[in-house]
Amino acid sequence: MPPTLSDLPTPCLLLDRPRMERNCRRLRQRIAGLGAALRPHLKTCKSLPAAEIMMAGGDGSATASTLREAEEFAAAGVRDLIYAVGISPQKLDRVARLRAAGADLAVILDSTEQAEALAARARGGEAPIPALIEIDADGHRAGIRAERRELLLAVARALPPGGLRGVLTHAGDSYHAHGTAALEQAAEQERAAAVSAAALLRSAGFACPVVSVGSTPTAHFARDLTGVTEVRAGVYCFFDLVMAGLGVCTLDDIACTVLATVIGHQPEKGPLGGWTLTDAGWMALSRDRGDGTQGYGLVCDAAGVPYENWLVAETSQEHGVLALRPGARQPPPRLAVGTRLRILPNHICATAAQFDSYYVLDGGAAVIAEWPRFRGW
């Protein structure tokens, strides 16, 4: 007999495989329908079996956020990779080793200093490391604003000949866009920034074959991808409470939960029946509170059905405190010590990072596999 939830140690990370497959199929079909390629961002899953589902039906291209990810996935045969964090010169030796081993790994940059570091290596006789110039689509984080023409061209000129592969942007502010109109606007702003930057580079005589955009919200709300060659996204494979809060998914789409056990009660603390304590604290759930409306996660029964207005209100290192949402009138359930619960996470990238493996479910309570995860940089 396969193990069930009652057999698992807690806290642990559960993955509903049918939900994940549905999420991946949904975005793959959507992006294909808009005429672009999907380059899955594997930073969320950090697991070879999960990555295989994300890349199924694709061309084998992927995105990484750490060189450890690039090394792990390249060793497994993923050869077309973008390391989508601004490159530092100290990491170029690892990039070069990956390329020498057969991985077509590209880096991103947004300064002449970074470009000159690549050029210096090429002058030393090394084959050029391909680079994409990061474009700032919305002021969220890194990159060059598309209208800063002189800086954009200066970075391109500083690269070694043949070193420019294209442009890349990430609409990080889409994580704060609520409603269809705002998300569609964020997607179009992202597209326009990348396409206009590519047009400028081409008009100056630079080849710019790749125009790469992406975030999970904009990937699901883009209406037009004219001029875009590829879309990157990662959280879509599992989804989380932040994505549900934005309207990108529903609670029924969230594929990962944390399995926890009730370890005690504090009836005199908190309203309407007090607190319930579990063995899943911030070491299991992370400290990420998402948009601040869902505590440290929503409480579900062992089947994954959410309880009404019951949150992980507080955490310490190994304790989760379950309490009612402020203003709730219905008392929480009274569950015996030893009862299993599931917690929907705010930000799955942060929550999954706490665990070494996924316990994979068949859509019910049967555990069909354990998939290892890796961590580190």
State residue 272's pLDDT score: 82
* 238 in Cβ contact with 16 (< 8 Å): no
How do residues 103-147 score in pLDDT, each as one tens digit?
Answer: 999 999 999 999 999 999 999 999 999 999 999 999 889 999 999
Tokens of residue 2, six digits: 């396969």
- Whether the per-residue pLDDT at 58 is higher than 80: the answer is no
Domains of the chain: 5-10+255-372 (2.40.37.20), 34-237 (3.20.20.10)
Which amino acid type is present at position 12?
C
State residue 311's pLDDT score: 96
- The rounded percent of the chain whose pLDDT value lies above 70 is 100
Helices and strands (DSSP H and E) totals, the chain:
11, 18
The 8-class DSSP code of residue 41 comes to B
Mean pLDDT on 185-202: 98
CA gap 230, 222 in Å, rounded: 12
Mean pLDDT on 234-259: 98
Q: What pTM, to 2 d.p., does this model score? A: 0.95
State residue 104's pLDDT score: 98
